[in-house]
Amino acid sequence: MTNEERSSSQGPPKLVVCVGAVVLQGERALFVRQAKGHSLEGQWSIPWGFVDPDETPDSATLRETLEEGGIKANVEGMLGIQELQREGWIAIVFLCQHVGGIPKSDGGIETDHAAFFSLEEIEEFNEPFEPWCEWLVRRILGGEYHLIPPEPMNPYQPLSAYF
């Protein structure tokens, strides 16, 4: 069956939107270790999750950061969009700044540990990082990124826009 036939028989394809947060505290980035039973079990990743129907990507990013890592943050801007390994899934990735809290897991629901890591600490750490998250954080901490800031003159205010 072609994509066209599938679309006409099943309706339009659904898009799943996830968000991820690179949360900085000085020269360190927040990682959370995925809990037992999670698809990334035992790996350290950035806080991430689904955008719920009643929230914006910005608010979902801040919610996931607080839920999974115990950290309150502010969104500084958008880093980019990543197609995920599941068809129809994308992630919008934001750069955030730590504004409060100490890293702590959600008690094993999704995460079992949380911590800030510098580049040196990532190098010396003997537990696995999720490869894409490690690659991304290394780029950010190394200054190899372009931030797309929020556009305050957006005519759809208070909704966020990044240009």
Q: Is residue 159 part of a domain?
A: no
Q: Is residue 5 part of a domain?
A: no
Predicted model pTM: 0.90
**pLDDT computed for residue 85 by the predictor:** 87
Question: At residue 4, does pLDDT exceed 90?
Answer: no
Q: Is residue 155 part of a domain?
A: no
Q: Is residue 50 part of a domain?
A: yes
**pLDDT computed for residue 86 by the predictor:** 85
Q: Is residue 30 part of a domain?
A: yes
Looking at the structure of the chain, the number of domains it has is 1
Q: Dump pLDDT digits (tens) for 75-134.
A: 999 999 999 988 899 999 999 999 999 999 999 999 999 999 999 999 999 999 999 999
Q: Is residue 160 part of a domain?
A: no
Containing domain of residue 66, as a range?
15-141
Question: At residue 2, does pLDDT exceed 50?
Answer: no
Q: Is residue 132 part of a domain?
A: yes
Q: Is residue 10 part of a domain?
A: no
CATH number at residue 124: 3.90.79.10
- DSSP notation for the chain: --HHHHHHHH-SPP-EEEEEEEEEETTEEEEEEEPTTSTTTT-EE--EEEPPTTS-HHHHHHHHHHHHH--EEEEEEEEEEEE-SSTTEEEEEEEEEEEE------SSSSEEEEEEE-HHHHHH--SPBPHHHHHHHHHHHTT----B-B-TT-TTTTS--B-
Q: Dump pLDDT digits (tens) for 37-58.
A: 998 999 999 999 999 999 999 9
**pLDDT computed for residue 132 by the predictor:** 97
**pLDDT computed for residue 103 by the predictor:** 98
Indicate the pLDDT class of residue 6, thresholds 50, 70 and 90: very low
